[in-house]
């Protein structure tokens, strides 16, 4: 049998074998059998030494053409196998994007943030503007412009976190009242929500970090009646109809006169219960008319303008709203606790 016939038979054999190949391992075995160092085509190449010098060029050309042909056939089958693998993988990994899927677990709003947003909505609805300021504050704004003298107990290191003699972690959000009055002319109507810091031991009702919302109104002819009307509107918005306020005389350096403000107990609506200890009232905030000395220190003529201010503890409001028995629960990050407020 001549070399051309032998090569034709090898080509027919490869065509038949390639149709049966369905994986890379079988394809590689066929390549080695035909084109490997001990393969059938290589054996033909080694047998050229038995040919006459005149026959060798033609035989060599036939073998080289066959090698190129066989290599192309193998590569074509390899490409076909890859395409089949891709199609199989795509079929296996196919996802129906229209199929309903369970939603991933969602986080929940913190009860203090819930209360803060509601109160911001309440007061902005009454025309107040939200202002924010630094948590690391100068003593000048935190104490001096709030009419808190050097010897006042609130300035003691046992109650205040001092960074140095003139810089503190703010003990209330009132510094933003001073900053606002120093940079704006009346009328002023602002609220200042945010974190504040005091040197307290953490227990069921105290924390070294808590949240407040200060409110300030400065304008002509502002009276205590305006303060009470504002707080009554706040109480009804947060706790519902029938909740009213009660004012009790108190003292704060930055307001005169000053008052502690109680709200009708939202649990019993004034009838008396365990929450309000039978009184029908819950102490919620401090308020009063802005001390004329504070107005003057901030560059506002106290003979022309007057104002009122109030400070609300947001953590206490949240505890009352959701009947949380221990303030520490608010800050432990327990997902079981926070998940109740979705």
Structural domain of residue 220, as residue ranges?
111-341
If you average pLDDT over residues 318-336, what whole number do you get?
Answer: 85
Pair 190, 266 in one domain: yes
Answer left, alpha or beta for residue 57, where phi above 0 means left and psi between -120 and 50 means alpha: alpha
4-34 pLDDT, tens digit per residue, is 777 777 778 878 877 778 888 887 887 787 7
Pair 86, 185 in one domain: no
43-77 pLDDT, tens digit per residue, is 776 777 677 777 777 777 777 777 788 788 888 88
Residue 104 located in a structural domain = no
Lowest mean pLDDT among 150-159, 176-185, 281-290: 150-159
Pair 139, 276 in one domain: yes
Lowest mean pLDDT among 31-40, 78-87, 167-176, 327-336: 31-40
Write down which residue in 92, 124, 146 finishes a domain. Answer: 92
Which residues are within 8 A (CB) of 77 and not within 5 positions of it... i.e. 6 or more apart? 18, 21, 27
Tell me the pairing of strands 188-197 and 129-130. parallel
76-122 pLDDT, tens digit per residue, is 888 888 888 888 888 887 777 787 888 887 778 889 999 999 999 99
Pair 136, 88 in one domain: no
Residue 133 or 206, more confident: 133
Residue 188 located in a structural domain = yes
Cα separation of the two ends of the chain: 87
**pLDDT attached to residue 49:** 66
Pair 78, 201 in one domain: no
| Cα–Cα nearest to 172, from 151, 187, 150, 192 | 192
Residue 251 located in a structural domain = yes
Write down which residue in 63, 92, 121 finishes a domain. Answer: 92
In the chain, what percentage of residues exceed pLDDT 70? 98
Separation between Cα atoms, residue 156 and residue 173, nearest integer Å = 18
Lowest mean pLDDT among 165-169, 218-222, 275-279, 330-334: 275-279
Pair 213, 300 in one domain: yes
Separation between Cα atoms, residue 114 and residue 49, nearest integer Å = 94
Structural domains in the chain (count): 2
Say if residue 164's pLDDT is above 60.
Answer: yes
If you average pLDDT over residues 160-167, what whole number do you get?
Answer: 90
Residue 140 located in a structural domain = yes
Write down which residue in 31, 64, 92 finishes a domain. Answer: 92
If you average pLDDT over residues 234-239, what whole number do you get?
Answer: 85
Pair 53, 150 in one domain: no
Residue 154 located in a structural domain = yes
Pair 139, 11 in one domain: no
Pair 88, 118 in one domain: no
Residue 330 or 305, more confident: 305
**pLDDT attached to residue 189:** 96
Q: Which residues of 90-103 are buried (b: 16+ CB within 10 A; e: fewer)?
A: eeeeeeeeeeeeee
Would you place residue 229 in the very low, low, confident or very high pLDDT band (cuts 50, 70, 90)?
very high
269-316 pLDDT, tens digit per residue, is 778 887 677 888 888 899 999 999 999 999 999 999 999 999 999 988
Q: Could you tell me the CATH number of the domain that includes residue 131?
A: 3.30.930.10
Would you place residue 225 in the very low, low, confident or very high pLDDT band (cuts 50, 70, 90)?
very high
Residue 97 located in a structural domain = no
């Amino acid at each position: 049998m001549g070399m051309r016939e032998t090569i034709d038979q090898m080509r027919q054999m490869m065509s038949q074998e390639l149709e049966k190949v369905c994986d890379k391992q079988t394809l590689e075995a066929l390549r080695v059998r035909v084109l490997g160092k001990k393969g059938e085509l290589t054996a033909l190449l080694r047998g050229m030494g038995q040919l006459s010098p005149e026959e060798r060029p033609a035989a060599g050309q036939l073998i080289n053409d066959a090698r190129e042909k066989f290599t192309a056939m193998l590569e074509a089958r390899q490409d076909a196998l890859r395409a089949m693998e891709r199609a199989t993988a795509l079929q296996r990994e196919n996802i129906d994007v229209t199929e309903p899927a369970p939603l991933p677990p969602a986080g929940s709003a913190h009860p203090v943030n819930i209360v803060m947003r509601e109160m911001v909505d309440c007061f902005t609805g009454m025309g107040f503007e939200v202002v924010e300021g630094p948590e690391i504050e100068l003593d000048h704004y935190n104490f001096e412009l709030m009419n808190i003298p050097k010897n006042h107990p609130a300035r003691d290191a046992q109650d205040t976190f001092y960074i140095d003699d003139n810089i503190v972690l703010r003990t209330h959000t009132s510094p933003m009242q001073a900053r606002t009055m120093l940079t704006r002319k009346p009328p002023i109507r602002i609220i200042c929500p945010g974190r504040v810091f005091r040197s307290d031991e953490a227990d069921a009702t105290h924390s070294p970090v808590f949240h407040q919302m200060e409110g300030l109104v400065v304008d002509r002819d502002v009276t205590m009646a305006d303060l009470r009307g504002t707080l009554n509107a706040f109480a009804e918005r947060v706790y519902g109809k029938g909740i009213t306020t009660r004012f009790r005389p108190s003292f704060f350096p930055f307001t005169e006169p000053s008052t502690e403000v109680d709200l009708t107990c939202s649990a019993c609506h004034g009838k008396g219960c365990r929450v309000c200890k039978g009184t029908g009232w819950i102490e919620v905030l401090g308020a009063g008319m802005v001390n004329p000395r504070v107005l003057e220190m901030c560059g506002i003529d106290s003979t022309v303008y007057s104002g009122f201010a109030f400070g609300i503890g947001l953590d206490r409001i949240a505890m009352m709203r959701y009947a949380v028995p221990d303030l520490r629960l608010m800050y432990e990050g327990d997902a079981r606790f926070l998940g109740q407020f979705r």
